[in-house]
Amino acid sequence: MITLYKILYIILCTITFIVVFTVSMGHNFRKAVHKANEAIIIDSNDKEEIIHRDIKYNSGENCGYDLYIPQKHSDARNYSLVLFIHGGSFTGGDKEEGVHWCRYYASKGRVAASVNYTLHSTEKPSNINIMSNDIKDCVKSIKEYCDSLGYSIDEMATTGVSAGGCLALLYAYRDAEESAIPVKFVFQQTGPTAFYGEHWGAHSDSTKIALASALLGMELSDSTIRNGEYISMIEDISPACNITPNSVPTLCAYGANDKIVPTNQKYILFDSLKTHGVPYVYVEFPNSGHALANDPDSMAAYVRHADIFCNRYFKNKTE
């Protein structure tokens, strides 16, 4: 029975991704997204960066990243890294989604990278911890690769969208102590923040087992749910549950009409940040759903705040 529910959950995630992806291919939707992202789009004729593509960081299939090096640089100075993590319901997406973000930060004199990680499929299962370990391997590889090029990377920020936003938060809150590059802040859009079953419509023991099993990549027993043992396992992969008074400053954006990530997710994050006294800024997209496509002014504000975070929390100043 557990396997059946797990399969149903995976199918639901896959269908959700396909629906969102299909809608996003609509002409009007593409225009809206492009307009919303105008704040970060660099003219294609402006060569602001040198791109090193498809750098492998471990032996996993499709585990590579694209590295964007600023054209104007001095080999004598240190650099900050902005690492973009794509979305796609943990089952799809690609590092190409980070092109505009990476080009934007390279134009600001920062090193940027967009990473692929091990996606989940029925044929080749993955889970959040595997993905998080991929991100750690990627950061280590970026550090070593940049050292070999003569670029010293001594600070970084993680950023992402949707599932990538979740992974960006989890890396910044849970995995930062193991990071090859110190994390100074995190900024993300529409990322899930906690995976308690009831927050995602899983109220019965069987559905909680299915959700937790899929996210953790292991078969959980009924007793694990009944005795509450699964809660600590779920909290370990929930960004909001890994916040401490030492957590990094956070910038986030959510759509008021999001039908993919429940609205409770942002409040769980905000409450935890407030409880632990962690500085944060929230930019709301009042007319947008999950894709944040209908509020270009909010996107411009989000980018402005990200620039403020860079200037405030990075010690390597570029402007």
Q: What pTM was estimated for this model as a whole?
A: 0.87
CATH number at residue 250: 3.40.50.1820
Three-class DSSP category at 219: coil
Which distant-in-sequence residues (6+ apart) come within 8 Å of 313 by Cβ?
Answer: 157, 184, 185, 248, 249
Which residue shows structure tokens 């650099």? Answer: 79
Say how far apart CA 224 and CA 219 lie, in whole Å: 10
Judge contact between 80 and 142, C-beta under 8 A: no
Is 319 part of a structural domain of the chain? no
Is 275 part of a structural domain of the chain? yes
Is 291 part of a structural domain of the chain? yes
| Residue 14 pLDDT greater than 50, yes or no | no
pLDDT digits (tens, 9 = 90+) for 40-93: 887 666 677 899 999 999 998 899 999 999 987 655 478 999 999 999 999 999
pLDDT digits (tens, 9 = 90+) for 274-302: 999 999 999 999 999 999 999 999 999 99
pLDDT digits (tens, 9 = 90+) for 114-135: 999 999 988 889 999 999 999 9
Its domain, for residue 176, covers 2-313
> Which helix (H) or strand (E) element contains residue 310?
helix 296-313
Q: How many domains does the chain have?
A: 1
Provide the percentage of residues in the chain whose pLDDT is more than 90: 66
Is 152 part of a structural domain of the chain? yes
Is 292 part of a structural domain of the chain? yes
Is 274 part of a structural domain of the chain? yes
Is 38 part of a structural domain of the chain? yes
Is 177 part of a structural domain of the chain? yes
